[in-house]
Chain A
Amino acid sequence: MEKTKVKVQMSEMAKREERWAWLFIAAPFIGFLCFMAYPIVFAVVASMSRWTGINSLLGNMVGLRNYIEILQDKNFWTAMLNTVIYMIGIPIGMILGGAIAMGLNRKIPMKRALTTMYYVPVVSSLVAVSILWAWVFNYDYGLLNTIYKFLTGNHGPNWLGDETMVKVAMIIFMTWKGLGTSIILYLAGLQNIPRDYYEAAEIDGANGWQKLRNITVPLLSPVTFYILITSLIGGFQVFVEVQVMVPAGGKNYSAATVVFYLYEKAFEHGQLGYGSAIAVILAIIIFIITALNFWGQDKWVKTID
């Protein structure tokens, strides 16, 4: 009898607490509903319409025709291929970042200053450094070709004007911009590996390569996984650097990315329905990558325990 009374009282208090808590978390959820959930549903509906933003959305429903047209559009596939090619920079950045982090983890002077220098591009405005690199890559007067001419006496490549070189240029730029993040993350990962592991391996007569292969790389795999997944998701959203450095998407669309294609269709050609269909495709790709990664995580990510 006594017990039930207490329970009822408790739940009355708990209910009060619950009401307050729901009130406290209301803002982010309302924000989510208005600016995320509703737009997603809207995008799915709009993706099935020949909608321009001016005509009627529901009056111009065409089913899956936008999707079929996208999949038959040469520009879409060019943009998709470019986006994937740019991702070559991801493993380059991870290997370079891992190597630099291992260097910084040794007993060397000026660690703080070096880390800062590597990290400066990350905190710099993407627009400003894109403008800067467009200037660095400038065919006639840019830094790279000035150095190239100084060293070889010949005129350097047309970085942003050539269909192949523009991709190399973008990969160089993106690696430069993102390297600092990989370094910081790997450095934090390295500092989490207990020293005794290496000591034990040394007693067993392991050489440097064996220690790297059997201790460092496996124990850094959670960090590698994190960098990989965030870089892949980010890689599919590359846009600003392309728009700033190669405004028209490059010769024969050679620099355009998926989001660039989406932006062009929706905001320059006014095809909002078509653009929404691209957005839905993008969302599906990113969802699949995330799901695949989490599914694969158990297989190759090792933890200390």
Chain B
Amino acid sequence: MKKTYKIDVDCANCANLMEEAAKKTKGVKDCTVNFMTLKMQVEFEDGAEAKDVMQDVLKACKKVEPDCEIFIK
């Protein structure tokens, strides 16, 4: 399952760091952060609950980049 989220982040390197962090989060199969369109596309593991996983992703991202935001619908 793939989902796309709007994000807010200031620098391109921070976007890369967010991508790395999200990829390492449990339940995330793959993730791409697009700094230019400010979007994060997350592919979830089978059976993972997107909402819960995204909370963890947000936490992980906040750790590497305190200024970032992910808009979880």
A and B co-occur in one complex:
no
Q: Which residues of A contact B (CB under 8 A)?
A: none
Q: Which residues of B contact A (CB under 8 A)?
A: none
